[in-house]
Amino acid sequence: MPVFNERATLEEIVQRVRAADLTVNVNGTGGAPHEPLTLEREIVIVDDGSTDGTRDILDQWQAETPGDMQIIYHAANGGKGAALRTAFNHASGDIFIIQDADLEYDPRDYVKVLLPILEGRTPVVYGSRFMGGTRSAMSLTHTMGNKFLTVLTNLFYGTSLTDMETCYKAFRRDVIADMKLRSRRFEIEPELTAKILKRGYTIFEVPITYNGREFHEGKKITWRDGFVAVRTLVKYRFVD
């Protein structure tokens, strides 16, 4: 969970993550049901140089030494990509799922996103906001920007994704264990996708719910990041 100036939502999203039911009914070979599986969770929070009081909350949690949480601090803001790279290096689980610190994505979708991995159908799952799940109306510019970047990804990498820019990306640890990630900001999304696809993995998509926020509510990604995403998709199509 990368965090930058999310004092207004941090406590609520962590509460939702902890409240998410991680009991999964996993089917075995031939579709035969197994006993329900209860997953262990580890919350890895990377504070990326927050200045709005977010660190006061994290310092309090750190003092309480919560057993299900790691908290890492960046001295200065490096961007979402930098925070995720730190989180990946500290996480101890077998499967990673990315969670933003706002309230746009619902942790109750975790089981839906994780199930194809647990059943061995794929090592990578993306939660798509454009597959019919319940969602708030997204602005026209964000909708068109997301769709354009997804179409570009499909053209460059020969896939058929519906939502490349989604936050909910889940993958087995081994998928990115030796992957050299370089992005510092929001271009981490296309970099991850490009390198996953270039390694020959198939990305499975499932519908998720989405409650988007606007800039006055704290949304940070802008149209400028769209141009960087395009450059990133082009770059990693031809280089590592």
pLDDT tens, position by position, 10-21:
999 999 999 999
In this model, does residue 27 exceed pLDDT 90?
A: no
Rounded CA-CA distance 129/106 in Å is: 11
The residues that bridge with 33 in the sheet, in sequence order, are 27
- pLDDT for 220 equals 56
Instruction: Write down the pTM of the prediction.
Output: 0.90
Q: Locate tokens 């696809």: which residue? A: 197
Give the confidence band of 25 by pLDDT, cuts at 50, 70, 90.
confident
The 10s digit of each residue's pLDDT in 165-199 is: 999 999 999 999 999 999 999 999 999 999 999 99
Tracing tokens 């319940």 back to the chain, one arrives at: 134
All domains in the chain, ordered by first residue: 2-238 (3.90.550.10)
Q: Coil, strand or helix: which one is 203? A: strand
pLDDT at 216: 46
Name the residue among 188, 179, 176 with its Cα closest to residue 228.
188
Pairwise CA distance, residues 197 & 179, whole Å? 12
Give just the sign of the alpha carbon dihedral 224, 2, 22, 170: positive
- Do 10 and 57 touch, CB atoms closer than 8 A? yes
Per-residue pLDDT tens over the stretch 87-100: 999 999 999 999 99
The rounded percent of the chain whose pLDDT value lies above 70 is 92
Q: What is the pLDDT of residue 4?
A: 97
Residue 30 has pLDDT above 80, yes or no: no
190: left (phi over 0), alpha (psi -120 to 50) or beta: alpha
